[in-house]
Structure 1
């Protein structure tokens, strides 16, 4: 890794298996990978509940940002991926609770599925520190 590059792990067993980091900081830029609603015990949080799953995704992403020396206030872009985009308002409610003062650019997209069919949403965040 370059001397200005810092990788942050969330402890997911998938990280070494797949070969990815939860977040990477390169200089002032921080990218948080697609973050699923996984509990500390490895189970899916908020089964069937887009809002609860989005909150969990944002909690994990926030910890990753903090591990890279950033915060939610540094977010410049978020991506919300849903298996059913008609439920976007539930994801938007959770997003708005965290970002109403920050107002990063954001995109909501529908995807066909995630690795685990119980996951209804994943979140990505890009941030610039400073």
Structure 2
């Protein structure tokens, strides 16, 4: 088993002491663990402050880029964990999530929880995923 850590240059650098992805090679497949992604731009500024739709779009675009760095796509996601700061915004988040994950035979396993706040004021959503790709 080999573990490779990667911070692709297609997304902003991590905002703290963590790595965006860890790839665990398991023979013919690999598991990709993606750290929680939030709506920060290249300068570390919040994207779409107060706008769950804009923030969720930004997060899924980033997830797509991170998985692509490992030869994967959003269709390879097997587990998704979502943290939102206001459960009343769940419909907006859900509409974007459905759009980005459309066309799958089976949706990924999933957890959605409301949290009092995220690490930066103005952030409404954080999403982390696990994907399985061909090695």
Contact 1:6–1:68 (CA under 8 A) maintained in structure 2: no
Q: Unpaired segments of 5 or more residues in structure 2? A: none
How do 1:1-130 residues align onto structure 2 when only pairs under 5 Å count? 4-9=2-7, 10-15=11-16, 18=17, 20-27=18-25, 28-102=30-104, 103-130=107-134
- The size of the alignment, in residue pairs, is 125
Bigger strand fraction: 2
Cα displacement string for residues 12-45 of structure 1 (whole angstroms, at most 9, x for unaligned residues): 2524xx1x11111101100111101011222111
SS in 1 for 2:98: helix
Question: Over aligned residues, Cα RMSD in angstroms?
Answer: 1.5
Please list every run of at least 4 consecutive aligned residues from structure 1 whose deviation after the TM superposition is greater than 6 angstroms.
none
CA distance in 1, matches of 2:43, 2:94: 26
* CA-CA distance at 1:100 after TM superposition: 2.2
CA–CA distance in 2 between the matches of 1:45 and 1:6?
29
Q: SS state of the match for residue 33, structure 2? A: strand
TM-score, length basis structure 1: 0.88
Alpha-carbon displacement from aligned partner over 1:105-126 (angstroms, at most 9, x marks no partner): 2221101111111100011111
The structure whose residues are more often helix, as a share, is: 1
Structure 1: unaligned runs, 5 residues or longer: none
TM-score by length of 2: 0.85
SS in 2 for 1:129: strand
